[in-house]
């Protein structure tokens, strides 16, 4: 986002002590860290809340009055019905599929739960329990991502410090000269080799952390959606594929509309 939009979010977070009211609920259960709770629960929920409340308003030019437009057009303009939003054009089952894909951030409404119960053939009570089970699994994955990100931050900070130390060591060796054989130079050479080996090891650790983070997805896995719908995974893949095609078609039609 642009800097001014980020500044608006910053103001929103601290306005009316919103962030402090959310942080007050932190209890540190199950070894949860405050930083993880802040980044992946408090700020995420505040951001989604802010996004829902911020809407771009349609503007009308002040250079032209309705009377001017009537004179130019030869009469009052015909009322035009507002075009339906992309969400409104979707069928109830398609809306449910989208919510299931973002189950960690989208709470299902009672109508969604009733529709899910009908599609899965479960009772409403069993459907609610299944949704809670999947949300709990997704929440644990979210905490795992936070732990990986914290480890990645730690590895990055270590790399920055050690690279700086390696540069200082190489500079000291350069000032001594290549022909200067002394205990000091031998000690610096040993230190340089040790730092290079440690950097190579930590770089490998950072690459492994990045690879692990890429395996985590924000969306709900298809197997979990299949479990909720009580349907084969292949059926879910087909449903999501058709939904994406329909969304692309609808979006293209909306962009082409004047």
Round the average pLDDT of the chain to a whole number and report it: 78
For position 211, what pLDDT does the model report?
82
- pLDDT tens digits for range 134-156: 888 877 776 777 777 778 878 88
The answer for residues whose C-beta is within 8 angstroms of residue 93's C-beta and 6 or more apart is 115, 119
Candidates 59, 30, 26; CA nearest to 42 is 26
- Range from 2-11, 30-39, 122-131, 244-253 carrying the lowest mean pLDDT: 30-39
The token pair at 229 is: 């719908």
In-domain check, residue 36: yes
In-domain check, residue 37: yes
Tokens 């949860």 label which residue? 32
- pLDDT tens digits for range 32-74: 677 777 877 788 878 877 876 655 444 444 444 444 444 445 5
Q: Which range marks the domain in which residue 32 is found?
A: 1-52
CA atoms within a 13 Å half-sphere pointing along the CA-CB vector of 33: 14
Number of other residues whose CB lies within 10 A of the CB of residue 222: 17
* 115 touches 169 (CB < 8 A): no
- Range from 72-86, 153-167, 182-196 carrying the lowest mean pLDDT: 72-86
In-domain check, residue 119: no
For position 74, what pLDDT does the model report?
53
Report, as an integer, the average pLDDT of 221-228. 90
User: DSSP string covering the chain, please?
Assistant: --HHHHHHHHHHHHGGGHHHHHHTT---GGG--HHHHIIIIIHHHHHHHHHHH--PPP---TTS-HHHHHHHHTSPPPP-PPPPPTTTTS-HHHHHHHHHHTTTT-PPPHHHHHHHHHHHT--HHHHHHHHHHHHHHHHHHHHHHHHHHHHHHHHHHHHHHHHHHHHHHHHHHHHH-TT--SHHHHHHHHHHHHHHHHHHHHHHHHHHHHHHHHT--SSPPHHHHHHHHTS-HHHHHHHHHHHHHHHHHHHHHHHH--
For position 228, what pLDDT does the model report?
92
In-domain check, residue 21: yes
In-domain check, residue 64: no
In-domain check, residue 18: yes
The token pair at 158 is: 């270590």
For position 70, what pLDDT does the model report?
44
d(CA 134, CA 73): 58
Q: What is the pTM of this model?
A: 0.44
d(CA 248, CA 8): 31
Domain total in the chain = 1
CA atoms within a 13 Å half-sphere pointing along the CA-CB vector of 155: 19
In-domain check, residue 153: no
For position 116, what pLDDT does the model report?
93
**Is the pLDDT confidence value at 117 over 90?**
yes
- pLDDT tens digits for range 78-88: 555 555 677 77
In-domain check, residue 31: yes
């Amino acid at each position: 986002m642009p800097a001014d939009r980020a500044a608006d979010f910053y103001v929103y977070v601290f306005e009316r002590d919103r962030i402090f009211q959310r942080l007050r609920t932190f209890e540190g259960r199950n070894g949860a860290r405050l930083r993880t709770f802040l980044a992946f629960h408090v700020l995420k929920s505040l951001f989604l809340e802010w996004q829902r409340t911020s809407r771009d308003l349609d503007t009308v030019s002040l250079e032209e009055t309705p009377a001017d437009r009537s004179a130019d057009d030869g009469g009052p303009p015909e009322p035009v019905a507002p075009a339906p939003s992309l969400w409104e054009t979707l069928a109830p089952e398609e809306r449910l599929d989208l919510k299931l894909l973002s189950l960690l951030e989208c709470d299902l409404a009672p109508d969604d739960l009733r529709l899910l119960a009908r599609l899965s053939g479960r009772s409403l009570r069993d459907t609610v329990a299944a949704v809670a089970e999947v949300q709990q699994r997704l929440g644990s994955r979210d905490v795992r991502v936070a732990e990986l990100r914290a480890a990645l931050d730690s590895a990055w900070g270590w790399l920055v410090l050690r690279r700086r130390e390696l540069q200082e060591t190489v500079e000291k060796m350069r000032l001594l000269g290549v022909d200067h054989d002394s205990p000091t130079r031998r000690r610096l050479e040993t230190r340089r080799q040790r730092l290079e080996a440690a950097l190579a090891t930590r770089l490998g650790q950072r690459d492994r952390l990045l690879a692990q983070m890429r395996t985590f997805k924000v969306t709900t896995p298809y197997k979990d959606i299949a479990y909720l719908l009580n349907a084969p995974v292949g059926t879910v893949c087909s449903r999501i594929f058709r939904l994406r095609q329909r969304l692309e078609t609808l979006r293209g039609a909306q962009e082409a509309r004047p």
